[in-house]
């Protein structure tokens, strides 16, 4: 029986995913934060993990780094509602197998685990679809913010905008396209 660890601070979302995986015959472990997740990994050795990127305290990126030290062969899919190319790239560099935006259903997650490509985390596209201007702006802001170690003041200075303006832009969810 395939085992999977679900790591998300949103209990309702985690429980819904757990039920869906159990209904498909998976053994499911759950954790609400990085420390709980590391304990589950050490005790139960799951083959797969679904990790939320943004959690209180340590982030999903911290978990990927620590989990790969404990269990190098663990396949990790990262889920986030605040997706950007910068964080996706960082997650894949740290060892994530794939990266999906929330909300993702169980079938999308299972497809992500099944993908084996030379470029993990990169969706297969038949035709190039240009991002919207809003999406391009969001990606650029996220890249600059990552370069500034998430320091809003430094990122705002690099972007040439006021810090409060940047905070307002970050408060909004990422554009879909």
pLDDT band at 151 (very low <50, low <70, confident <90, very high): very high
Q: Flag whether 176 is in a domain.
A: no
Cα–Cα dist 1/22, whole Å: 11
| Pairing, β 48-52 against β 27-31 | unpaired
Q: Where is the domain boundary, 85, 114, 143?
A: 114
Q: Is 9 in the same domain as 72?
A: yes
- Whether the ω angle into residue 103 lies within 30 degrees of 0, i.e. cis, is yes
Q: Are 2 and 30 in contact (CB under 8 A)?
A: no
Q: Is the pLDDT of residue 135 over 80?
A: no
CA atoms within 13 A on the CB side of 10: 14
The distance of Cα 71 from the centroid of its chain, to the nearest Å, equals 18
Q: What is the mean pLDDT of residues 129-134?
A: 71
* CATH number assigned to the domain comprising residue 19: 3.40.50.2300
Structural domain boundaries enclosing 99: 3-114
Q: Is 141 in the same domain as 100?
A: no
Q: Flag whether 98 is in a domain.
A: yes
> Could you tell me which of 57, 58, 97, 53 has the C-alpha nearest to residue 77?
97
Q: Is 151 in the same domain as 108?
A: no
Q: Is the pLDDT of residue 144 over 90?
A: no
> What pLDDT, on a 0 to 100 scale, did the predictor assign at position 92?
83
Q: What is the pLDDT of residues 35-79, one digit of tens each?
A: 999 999 999 999 999 998 888 888 888 999 999 999 999 999 998
Token representation of residue 49: 């993990």
Q: Is 76 left (phi over 0), alpha (psi -120 to 50) or beta?
A: beta
Q: Is 151 in the same domain as 109?
A: no
Q: What is the pTM of this model?
A: 0.65
pLDDT band at 129 (very low <50, low <70, confident <90, very high): low
Q: How many domains does the chain have?
A: 2
Q: What is the pLDDT of residues 157-172, one digit of tens each?
A: 999 999 999 988 888 7
CA end-to-end distance (rounded Å), the chain: 37
């Amino acid at each position: 029986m395939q085992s999977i660890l679900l790591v998300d601070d949103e209990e309702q979302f985690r429980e819904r995913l757990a039920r869906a995986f159990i209904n498909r015959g998976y053994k499911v472990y759950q954790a609400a934060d990085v420390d709980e997740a590391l304990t589950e990994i050490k005790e139960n050795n799951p083959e797969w993990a679904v990790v939320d990127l943004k959690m209180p305290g340590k982030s999903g990126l911290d978990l990927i780094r620590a989990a790969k030290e404990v269990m190098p062969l663990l396949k990790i899919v990262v889920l986030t509602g605040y997706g950007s190319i910068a964080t996706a790239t960082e997650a894949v560099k740290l060892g994530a197998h794939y990266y999906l935006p929330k909300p993702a259903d169980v079938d999308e997650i299972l497809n992500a685990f099944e993908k084996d490509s030379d470029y993990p985390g990169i969706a297969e596209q038949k035709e190039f679809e240009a991002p919207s201007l809003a999406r391009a702006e969001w990606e650029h802001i996220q890249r600059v913010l990552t370069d500034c170690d998430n320091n809003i003041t430094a990122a705002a200075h690099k972007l040439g905008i006021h810090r409060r303006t940047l905070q307002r832009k970050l408060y909004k969810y990422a554009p879909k396209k």
